[in-house]
Amino acid sequence: MEFLKELGFNDLVLHRIINSNDDSVIYNFIMDCDNVRDVINYFREIGIEVIDELLVRRLEVFSIDISKLKKQFDKYNVGVLVSLINEDISAINFL
Amino acid sequence: MLEQQNTLINLLKEQVDKNQEFLYGHDDQLDSSVQENEDLVNHLVSDIKSIDSIDFQKIEKLIRSFTFDDDETIDTMINEMSLIKEIITMNVEENTTVELESDELEAFDLFLNKVNEVINIQKEERASLQKRRDIVLNVTNKYVDLITMLTDPNNTSIIKDSSTLHLLFTKRKVEEKVKQRILVDLMKYNHEIFERQLKNIGIDEFNSSEVLMKNDVLQLFEKYGYQFSLLDMAVQNDILKYGRLSRMEIIFQALSENNFSKIDEVSKGKILFALLVNSSKEIIDNNTKLALEKGLQPDDLLQISNSLIKQSIYMKKEVEMFFSYVGSDSEHDLGFSYGDDNLLSFIKGAADDFSKNIALLESKGLMISVVFDKCKQLLVLSHELLRNNLSLFEKYGFSLMEKNAVVRPALTALMALNFADIADQFIEIHPLGIYYLRDNLSNLRSNVNPLDILFYNIYQASRVQVDADGKLVAAGPFVEVSDYHIVKLQLKGEITRFSKKYKYLPYCGITDLNKMEVTNTICPVFDNQVEYDSIMKNVVSFEIDDSIFEHDYIKAINSYSDQNEPLAYNFSGIRISKLKVLRVFDTLLKNRIAPSIDSFMFAVTYHTIINQEDYDRLAMIIRGCLQGGMA
């Protein structure tokens, strides 16, 4: 998962990801690293501040196809949804 | 077995023995002393006459441990207590009615206060010992894990816990030369495991019989419409090293025959590599056919590409990572990596899981195309984990459906690594916890540690607090939010995460390091804690035997079932998850632990966040139940 380091995530986050996820989920996450990069960049763009926590606790979200994910966000007031996610990552379930 | 393997096993065993001495020794002594003093105070408070039956030497010894400014006060108190005992003994034995004077009663009260002071000091000592004990217990478990791996001839896991090894070397004061010899042998050991993994999947030939010529590989790729040169250089090298022409040709053919689109060499090169090295025609044919029957397209499988891969293998990276530890004084765990951008270090096969998971999910009435759409990772999740989680899902009464549709959070919950512990914690931590969980099932997956800060935050927010004016206020961790006219519970923002809105400050100052101190909670200690923890750590199945419901201990606490929540006991306001008690106690009994107050209290308070006062109250109620039930 070295590509995450290039995106600014530290070893601690990587360790937490490994300890919090099934091997299969991690494997497919790595295999899908291009989409993961796009999702992380999109999340940063719209103001999500809890990307670390989402990576550790909801890794599968980063494997949602980026164009699908953007469409899902667009169904809501993005600012409000982002603010809810920043308060409680469970709000990602609105998608 | 390698030469130094025995040396390492012996070092580990010696340290485990030493740690166990520490874990058992102190606690017994301190615990019995606290208990003895508490019993003494309880007896004397409930009936002063009980002093008649107490050995005065015990009282004198206790008084001599009190802190006074001068020795004279100690002597005075001994004399006063001696006089009190004499008067009461005389009253009891000779039926006299001599009453204690007010100064004697004052002396008696002072004695009780001083005993309570001693008890409090002893409890603080115990808490401090307990903290140290937790650390020792944790590391002891890691030593035991290493012993288990090293003594198992069928072990297939690479030894990667370098930080624990480093600690062991320091504790046992291992000489540098010996340490180096052990580490070199461990490298060999890891190499053997690595070779065994390769052999198991039939690609050991790369070492001996076949050296791939780049031109042959280029031509093979071209034949099937691929450009080898577009692959990442590290992937190219790995294909040349691990690939076999005949196997690769079969895979290319199978992908083509099953109508897979061309896999992009640049962005999906690693997927292509993993398939070429570790798939088979049989798997591609069978799992693609299965997928088509369930409404999925062949290319869908490339999103969960390990559905087409046989077994898991570690590629060379882990072994090399371990090598880098040799000679290093770093306490960092350098032992494991899941891969990087250039090199694939770990291939996780899930072909079997895929077919078994489809059968299991269909047996629960789920449509596979819907599962793929909402949570495709479920299809390649470890089958055992999915089976366990589905079983627990039913036991805890959760629903996969909402308004007759399968909901993503419910499917997400099935990916939980620690389902039962997290569900139990939500049940126990707050009366609304289980309702919050039902509204937010994905929490089962997003929380792994039942002792995460989040739960201490909820615990703290549930306490009644005093505001600046000294007024009592109930903080409460939850708020109600409306989602399409359905009211759901959410946790307050300040409780869940550090967010900008709350200036990134931890809730009530709670951090991982101080969570127990700030919340004033304890981690109860048990006589056989090492065994209990070891059993719970290694438990793989959560099946609860029906016979446990008929166990005397379980029947004895039945009357404490919560009237409003069938999943909980309610011991005078202390909520305990019923399924937790059943699961943990049943697991202990299955592992030949004798039923006792110690083992039962371990089951009752397993991962419960509790303060000393509540724990004492709970222990008293449970003791009462068991003694009453057993009588």
**Residue B371: Cβ-neighbour burial (10 angstroms; 0-12, 13-18, 19+):** buried
What lies within 8 Å, CB to CB, of A92 at 6+ separation is A54, A58, A61, A85, B442
The CA dihedral of B71, B74, B79, B83, to the nearest 10 degrees, is 170
The domain total for chain A is 1
Which of B338, B491, B501 lies at the smallest CB-CB distance from A26? B338
Average the pLDDT over A54-72 and give the result: 93
d(CA B496, CA B515): 15
Q: Which of residues 389-418 of B touch A (CB under 8 A)?
A: 408-409, 412, 415, 417
Which of B304, B333, B491 lies at the smallest CB-CB distance from A88? B491
d(CA B531, CA A4): 39
Cross-chain Cβ contact B440/A20 below 8 Å: no
B282-287 LR contacts (CB < 8 Å, sep 24+): B283/B308, B283/B309, B283/B310, B283/B351, B284/B251, B284/B254, B284/B255, B284/B258, B284/B308, B285/B254, B285/B257, B285/B258, B286/B355, B287/B351, B287/B354, B287/B355
Which of B342, B492, B500 lies at the smallest CB-CB distance from A49? B500
What's at A60, amino acid-wise? E
**Residue A22 belongs to domain spanning:** 2-94
- Residue B509 is classified by DSSP as G
Cross-chain Cβ contact B440/A50 below 8 Å: no
d(CA B193, CA B159): 9
CB A49 within 8 Å of CB B500: yes
pLDDT value for B210 = 58
Instruction: State ipTM.
Output: 0.93
Which of B377, B382, B448 lies at the smallest CB-CB distance from A19? B448
B510-516 LR contacts (CB < 8 Å, sep 24+): B510/B453, B510/B456, B510/B457, B510/B460, B511/B453, B512/B453, B515/B451, B515/B453, B515/B456, B516/B456
d(CA B191, CA B155): 13
Distance from CA of B417 to the nearest CA of A (A): 7
Cross-chain Cβ contact A24/B336 below 8 Å: no
pLDDT at A95 over 80: no
d(CA B68, CA B225): 92
Nearest to B202 by CA among B119, B311, B43, B327: B311
Cross-chain Cβ contact B499/A86 below 8 Å: yes
A72 touches chain B (CB under 8 A): no
Q: Cβ atoms within 10 A of the Cβ of A67, count?
A: 10
Measured between beta carbons, the chain A residues lying within 8 angstroms of B380 are: 24, 28
Q: Token pair for residue B360?
A: 């299991």
pLDDT in tens, A7-40: 999 888 888 888 889 889 988 998 998 999 999 9
| Cβ-count burial B92-102 (b if 16+ within 10 Å, e if not) | eeeeeeeebee
Cross-chain Cβ contact A89/B375 below 8 Å: no
pLDDT at A66 over 90: yes
Q: What angle do CA B490, B496, B497 make, to 5 degrees?
A: 140
d(CA B371, CA B446): 19
What lies within 8 Å, CB to CB, of B483 at 6+ separation is A94
Which of B304, B336, B442 lies at the smallest CB-CB distance from A28? B304
pLDDT band at A73 (very low <50, low <70, confident <90, very high): very high
pLDDT value for B338 = 41
Nearest to B408 by CA among A82, A54, A91: A91
Q: Token pair for residue A95?
A: 């998608």
Nearest to B313 by CA among B277, B270, B365: B277
Distance from CA of A76 to the nearest CA of B (A): 12
- Residue B463 is classified by DSSP as S
B548-555 LR contacts (CB < 8 Å, sep 24+): B548/B582, B548/B585, B548/B586, B548/B589, B549/B582, B551/B585, B551/B589, B551/B595, B552/B595, B552/B629, B552/B630, B553/B585, B553/B595, B553/B600, B553/B626, B553/B629, B554/B581, B554/B582, B554/B585, B555/B629
d(CA B75, CA B58): 15
Count chain A–chain B contacts defined by CB atoms under 8 A. Answer: 124
pLDDT value for B466 = 56
C-alpha distance from residue B368 to each of A80, B42, B49, B358, B491 (Å)? 33, 63, 74, 7, 32
What's at B630, amino acid-wise? M
d(CA B605, CA B162): 33
CB B431 within 8 Å of CB B587: no
Cross-chain Cβ contact B500/A31 below 8 Å: no
Which of A15, A20, A31 lies at the smallest CB-CB distance from B417? A20
d(CA B383, CA B355): 9
Q: Token pair for residue B94?
A: 């000779």
Q: Token pair for residue B88?
A: 């009461």
Give the DSSP H/E element, type plus range, for residue B551: none
d(CA A55, CA A9): 10
- Provide, for chain A, the percentages of residues in helix, strand and coil under a 3-state DSSP scheme, each rounded to the nearest 5: 80, 0, 20
Distance from CA of B479 to the nearest CA of A (A): 12
Annotate B336-374 with DSSP letters as a single string.
-----SS---EE---HHHHHHHHHHHHHTT--HHHHHHH
Give the DSSP H/E element, type plus range, for residue B479: strand B478-483
Cross-strand pairs, B483? B486
The average confidence (pLDDT) of chain A is 90
Angle between helix B176-200 and B162-171 (nearest 10): 150
Cross-chain Cβ contact A93/B417 below 8 Å: no
d(CA A91, CA A82): 9
Mean pLDDT in each 10-residue stretch from start to end of chain B (631 residues)? 80 89 68 78 81 86 81 85 89 83 86 86 76 80 89 81 81 85 81 72 50 85 95 87 88 96 93 91 96 96 93 56 40 37 65 96 94 94 93 89 76 93 95 90 90 92 68 71 75 74 75 90 88 81 81 94 92 95 93 91 97 95 82 40
